[in-house]
Structure 1
Amino acid sequence: MAEQNQTKPKFRTSIGGQALIEGILMRGPEKQAIVVRSKEGLVEKVEELKLIRDRYPILGLPVLRGAVTFVDSMVRGVKALMYSADFFPEEEGEPSKLDLWLEKKLGSEKLQKLVVALAVVLSLGLTIGLFMILPTFLAGLLGRFIPNVVVHNLVESVIKLLIFFGYLLLCSKQKDIQRVFQYHGAEHKTIFCYEAGLPLTVENCRIQPRHHPRCGTSFLFVVVVVSILVSSVVFSFVDWRNVWVRIGLHLLLLVPVVGVTYEFNRYVGGHDNPVTNALAKPGLWLQNFTTNEPDDSMLEVAIRAMELVIPEQKGKDEW
């Protein structure tokens, strides 16, 4: 009987991360870890993960879970950024009377929660305003020169993509952000090393690619593309010249768009074939703007963060 050649499928982990100020957040199936390189050395913070969908199973249903995961990741990401920033305070004067009054009335813990909530709301508002409302408004200004809904959708889509690419390009040129993008590259290299089954050493991580198919940059790009596709269909049945109708529909479609994007990324990230590889390429290319080659000290931070979240039960973090 002829021996059959079997190829062992490549392991894909659900562990993901986020670059911080001189640090990295890694999130596994059971806990998350923040590791920051402070002036005194590596500082570690590990927390058990308590997901809202564990208490409310309905929030774990396909599509709906995408929007829930997105907001949850944003909240945790803002908290982690604030935590890392505390190790590198800027020189400031005395706190303002408003700061003192808020801390007195709310206490430091409640004040921190308020700051996090405001930061999340502002981040969401900026994202929605920049990538959804602004393109719709600009396309609306050209409405009288546009003959039909197909051309209008095309113009709005082009504006949306130009704003998205311009935003990434502008961020990549900021000196303060470039080090954060180096940590982003370290995060990707460490995850690749772990998925390859290699020992987590600086040498093994250094040779890994810095572009990872399950990256937040790819996710945001797909959100923009899915938004374009969905709105192009929906706006064919409404008053496409009314800018306020278009903006309102964009907001109503936000949750399903994010949910569909999440499911799409889960599928693409969990399969390796010519179709999924082709679908992943635009997002990988965009990571040229959001990742830089890290130095060894950054890889050490990423490795330690990864080690802290790898589950004891082997394979529990499989994608």
Structure 2
Amino acid sequence: MAEQNQTKPKFRTSIGGQALIEGILMRGPEKQAIVVRSKEGLVEKVEELKLIRDRYPILGLPVLRGAVTFVDSMVRGVKALMYSADFFPEEGEPSKFDQWLEKKLGSEKLQKLVVALAVVLSLGLTIGLFMILPTFLAGLLGRFIPNVVVHNLVESVIKLMIFFGYLLLCSKQKDIQRVFQYHGAEHKTIFCYEAGLPLTVENCRIQPRHHPRCGTSFLFVVVVVSILVSSVVFSFVDWRNVWVRIGLHLLLLVPVVGVTYEFNRYVGGHDNPVTNALAKPGLWLQNFTTNEPDDSMLEVAIRAMELVIPEQKGKDEW
């Protein structure tokens, strides 16, 4: 059976997902589905996808589409995460401040405000932790650094150490470990679908949990691309001024994310020794962000996948 699968043309789907609290978000070419295993059973929510680049075609151009897709995915991901969290409320009554906000704004406006704040905080944490903090720390060592090449090297090492440390810390959190199990279930289900096998728990269980088109791999490549780009740019500017470096990092953020998106599209769409080698670091990092799921988690992932597979065969091809 394995030999037969190897001779078949490999199908790569554009369907992707995100692990939630006791659930999974799957996003296809036409719609997205959220499936949560609540105390009462599986809860499903399906929405038609309306992309901003459909209204503004210029945002669908290469490089630009990467930044737009990243922000759009983050907004949808935060909304889905909050939706799943609502099925597992914390014990006790809301605080007086929460009650006051809901009374003043209403539940719908309050939810939009919370989503907006969560997206801003997530972006701020990502930029601050992986870009501004390494630049600032390297700047503190500036007086001991002899030249721009060494400075760029020191900043790059600090950036990678923070990134790896962050993933390691997250992987040790007990509350996050079940989310990472759902992450593994998402990958296994996508692999099963791409292999052309029936979407059953048995078929999904035997699939790998590391997928080359994962968000973990994307973030790692963002860090690497930012290191390469900044190493070139800071060879021509006042590299000792920490505020200049931080400002340029922020200006370069959109092209860095855009180039990373195009890189991942290319690597994810090709299977050869070069692209396989380029994908290996990201696959290895998924040891920190995915865990082996149980059968109930695979059931959730399978249902989410079934809800977003397009009726027209091949419409979701990568």
**TM tier, shorter chain?**
over 0.9
Shift of 1:160: 0.2
Aligned to 1:133: 132
1:237 and 1:215 mapped to 2: Cα distance?
A: 34
Shift of 1:6: 12
Aligned to 2:192: 193
Find the residue that maps to 1:293 and give its secondary structure: coil
Find the residue that maps to 2:186 and give its secondary structure: helix
2:67 and 2:59 mapped to 1: Cα distance?
A: 9
Shift of 1:39: 0.5
Cα deviation code 1:44-65 (max 9, x no counterpart):
0000000000000000000000
- Where structure 2 has 5 or more consecutive residues not aligned to the other structure, the ranges are none
Shift of 1:107: 1.1
Q: Summarize the Cα distance change of 1:231–1:3 in structure 2 as closer, same or farther, 3 Å threshold.
A: closer
- Verify the 8 A CA contact 2:5 2:195 in the aligned structure 1: no
- Superposition TM-score, scaled by structure 2 size: 0.97
Find the residue that maps to 1:103 and give its secondary structure: helix
- Verify the 8 A CA contact 2:167 2:288 in the aligned structure 1: yes
Find the residue that maps to 2:312 and give its secondary structure: coil
Misfit runs of 4+, over 3 Å: 1-8, 91-94
Q: Summarize the Cα distance change of 1:195–1:2 in structure 2 as closer, same or farther, 3 Å threshold.
A: closer
Shift of 1:99: 1.9
Aligned to 1:142: 141
- Superposition TM-score, scaled by structure 1 size: 0.97
Cα deviation code 1:128-183 (max 9, x no counterpart):
00000000000000000000000000000000000000000000000000000000
Cα deviation code 1:265-286 (max 9, x no counterpart):
0000000000000000000000
Identity %: 99
Cα deviation code 1:91-130 (max 9, x no counterpart):
4443333222221221110110000000000000000000
Paired residues, number: 318
Shift of 1:8: 4.4
What does 1:189-268 correspond to in 2, within 5 Å? 189-268=188-267
Shift of 1:303: 0.2
- Where structure 1 has 5 or more consecutive residues not aligned to the other structure, the ranges are none
2:94 and 2:233 mapped to 1: Cα distance?
A: 50
1:2 and 1:216 mapped to 2: Cα distance?
A: 28
1:272 and 1:35 mapped to 2: Cα distance?
A: 31
CA-atom RMSD in angstroms: 2.9
1:45 and 1:3 mapped to 2: Cα distance?
A: 38
Shift of 1:9: 2.7
Find the residue that maps to 2:4 and give its secondary structure: coil
Q: Summarize the Cα distance change of 1:108–1:236 in structure 2 as closer, same or farther, 3 Å threshold.
A: same
Cα deviation code 1:273-307 (max 9, x no counterpart):
00000000000000000000000000000000000
2:2 and 2:13 mapped to 1: Cα distance?
A: 34
